[in-house]
């Protein structure tokens, strides 16, 4: 079976979009982008450098006063036009999404719909951003609070879901009146290019959204740039530490959405098949490369063996293959480096006491040119071992038994992360109690991922970051409050 190859003619050509210009090459290094489905090069891309970042920031700063002053109803109408374009052209994103990181074709239409929902929701906020008055004492005065944009926002998004991440930040940031410089990741550059092209097509003024495609050096140039007023970073904790250190030199504010090691707690009164299906989603969503995926399964001992048997059986029937094939459920991981790291973690997990009950080895045969690993399940994994404490970022689930509610809570909270958590139970008292004890920013009861919609806040505790994206909380991340006090006392004499 021959796997389909990406066609260069189907992919965006503009790694830089600055002001009203679309540029086919930057001034930085040349990247040979690799398609993870076959290990072949999709295109040679001349990326941006610090000089290109300067030009993008200048365009964003030039556009900022008019964009901030644009009446809310006009900004709202642009958002609604863009949302309609996303819906009408959602299929056009498929080539970019598949080629850049091996996303499966069934995933692509949802990404267009999701982007439309974000811009439609935050478009509705454009004409509703208002301040408040504060009663004063000690003398006649009028005091009020106004909410204003930061100015120019620098957005750095990860390779595992550039379109999802970029729209999650850009929609509230633009609604609040900021202009944007977006960095498309070097490992997955295409969907962000397509996104900014569509924003231009919708009629957003030149310079409101600018794109630079590049690697770490471009991100560093953005973080240290004096013309960028705030950074929003989505990615790994290791890179976030470097971002914060760089931003600290100018005391620049930084929003962080980072990784997770989200626990899935399955109590013995749960709907078993629902809990297994939802647990499996942690291994297949974004090819197992999602920050909020539930990959650490904590199962009560009364149903532990039955759960394992059902989970392993389901894992063996997950179709792994060509991302262009509509029947494919699980595609490749991003690179050979990632595949080597993941299999190394599996081996270490076995050494630490886990046992492989599904998958575990790289796929050969027709899959051998790409970076394919089947759904892999490790049972009996100690909660304090390396694979239970650290992100695998691949289609790997680890399973640990527990006996009591308190033990489940302690195990779930027993990592440095706090992004997501999932609870399966039919007991309403237990659901309220356990979710109240879990230290995570987003918790699902008897579900997996449904709360990730634009009107709900998303973000984490501890090493999973700070700040929120989504809902009114997400809008406020991109507004600064200004307090104004006016003396109303009559002039003396």
Q: Return d(Cα 490, Cα 148) in angstroms, integer.
A: 30
In a domain, 96, yes or no: yes
In the three-class reduction of DSSP (H, G, I as helix; E, B as strand; rest coil), residue 180 is classed as strand
| Amino acid 319: pLDDT | 94
pTM for the predicted model, two decimal places: 0.93
Asked if 223 and 308 sit in the same domain, the reply is no
Query: Do 175 and 475 touch, CB atoms closer than 8 A?
Result: yes
pLDDT in tens, 273-301: 999 999 999 999 899 998 888 999 999 99
Nearest of 404, 154, 220 to residue 298 by alpha carbon: 404
| The total number of structural domains that make up the chain | 2
In a domain, 458, yes or no: no
Q: Return d(Cα 287, Cα 294) in angstroms, integer.
A: 13
Asked if 206 and 247 sit in the same domain, the reply is yes
The reply to whether 291 belongs to the active site is yes
Asked if 198 and 82 sit in the same domain, the reply is yes
Which candidate in 23, 232, 291, 477 is catalytic?
A: 291
Q: Return d(Cα 276, Cα 274) in angstroms, integer.
A: 5
**SS (HEC) of 237-251:** HHHHHHHHHHHHCCC
- Give the phi and the psi of residue 50 in degrees, each rounded to 5: -60, -35
Which residues of the chain fall below pLDDT 50?
A: none
| CATH number where 46 lies | 3.40.605.10
Nearest of 120, 182, 129, 124 to residue 156 by alpha carbon: 182
Residue 196 zone, left/alpha/beta (φ > 0; ψ -120 to 50; rest): alpha
| Amino acid 290: pLDDT | 87
In a domain, 486, yes or no: no
Which candidate in 23, 100, 232, 257 is catalytic?
A: 257
44 burial level (CB within 10 Å; 0-12, 13-18, 19+)? exposed
Asked if 280 and 240 sit in the same domain, the reply is no
In a domain, 364, yes or no: yes
In a domain, 487, yes or no: no
Asked if 217 and 338 sit in the same domain, the reply is no
In a domain, 493, yes or no: no
Of the chain, the end-to-end C-alpha distance in Å amounts to 94
132-134 β-sheet, strand order:
132-134, 141-149, 479-487
Q: What is the mean pLDDT of the chain?
A: 94
| Amino acid 72: pLDDT | 95
The reply to whether 473 belongs to the active site is no
| CATH number where 341 lies | 3.40.309.10
- Give the phi and the psi of residue 189 in degrees, each rounded to 5: -90, -15
Asked if 374 and 348 sit in the same domain, the reply is yes
Asked if 169 and 195 sit in the same domain, the reply is yes
Asked if 106 and 56 sit in the same domain, the reply is yes
Angle formed by the axes of helices 94-101 and 162-175, nearest 10°: 120
**Domain of 406?**
262-453
Asked if 249 and 269 sit in the same domain, the reply is no
Asked if 243 and 274 sit in the same domain, the reply is no
Asked if 225 and 270 sit in the same domain, the reply is no
In a domain, 228, yes or no: yes
Residue 15 zone, left/alpha/beta (φ > 0; ψ -120 to 50; rest): alpha
Asked if 409 and 421 sit in the same domain, the reply is yes
In a domain, 461, yes or no: no
| Amino acid 1: pLDDT | 62
| Amino acid 493: pLDDT | 65
Q: Return d(Cα 414, Cα 408) in angstroms, integer.
A: 10
């Amino acid at each position: 079976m021959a796997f389909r190859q990406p066609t260069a003619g189907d992919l965006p050509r503009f790694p830089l979009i600055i002001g009203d210009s679309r540029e086919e090459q930057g001034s930085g290094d040349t990247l040979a982008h690799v398609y993870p489905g076959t290990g072949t090069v999709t295109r040679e891309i001349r990326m941006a450098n610090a000089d290109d970042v300067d030009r993008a920031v200048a365009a964003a700063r030039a556009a900022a006063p008019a964009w901030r002053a644009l009446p809310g109803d006009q900004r709202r109408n642009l958002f609604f036009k863009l949302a309609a374009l996303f819906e009408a052209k959602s299929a056009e994103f498929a080539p970019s999404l598949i080629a850049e990181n091996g996303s499966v074709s069934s995933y692509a239409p949802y990404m267009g719909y999701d982007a439309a929902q974000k811009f439609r929701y935050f478009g509705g906020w454009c004409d509703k951003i208002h301040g408040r008055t504060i009663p004063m004492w000690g003398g006649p005065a009028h005091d009020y609070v106004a909410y204003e944009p930061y100015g120019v926002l620098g957005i750095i998004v990860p390779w595992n879901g550039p379109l999802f991440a970029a729209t999650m930040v850009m929609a509230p940031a633009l609604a609040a009146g900021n202009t944007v410089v977006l960095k498309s990741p070097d490992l997955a550059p295409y969907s962000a290019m397509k996104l900014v092209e569509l924003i231009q097509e919708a009629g957003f003024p030149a310079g409101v959204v600018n794109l630079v495609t590049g690697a770490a050096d471009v991100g560093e140039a953005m973080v240290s740039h004096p013309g960028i007023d705030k950074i929003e970073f989505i990615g790994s904790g290791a890179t976030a530490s470097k971002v914060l250190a760089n931003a600290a030199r100018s005391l620049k504010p930084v929003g962080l959405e980072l990784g997770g090691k989200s626990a899935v707690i399955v109590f013995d009164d749960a709907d078993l098949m629902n809990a297994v299906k939802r647990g499996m989603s942690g291994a297949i969503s974004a090819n197992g490369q999602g920050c909020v995926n539930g990959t650490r399964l904590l199962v009560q001992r009364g149903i532990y063996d039955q759960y394992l048997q059902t989970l392993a059986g389901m894992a063996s029937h997950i179709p792994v293959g060509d991302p262009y094939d509509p029947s494919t459920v699980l595609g490749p991981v991003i690179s050979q480096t990632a595949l080597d790291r993941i299999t190394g973690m599996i081996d270490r997990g076995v050494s630490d006491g886990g046992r492989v009950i599904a998958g575990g080895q790289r796929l050969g045969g027709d899959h051998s040119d790409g970076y394919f690993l089947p759904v892999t399940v490790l049972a009996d994994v100690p909660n304090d071992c390396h694979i239970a404490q650290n992100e695998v970022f691949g289609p790997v689930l680890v399973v640990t038994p527990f006996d009591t509610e308190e033990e489940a809570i302690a195990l779930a909270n027993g990592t440095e992360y706090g992004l997501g958590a999932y609870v399966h139970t039919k007991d309403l008292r237990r659901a309220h109690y356990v979710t109240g004890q879990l230290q995570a920013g987003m918790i699902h009861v008897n579900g997996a991922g449904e709360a990730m919609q634009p009107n709900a806040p998303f973000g984490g505790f501890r090493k999973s970051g700070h700040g929120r994206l989504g809902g009114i909380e997400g809008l406020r991340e991109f507004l600064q409050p200004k307090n104004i006090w006016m003396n109303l006392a009559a002039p003396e004499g």
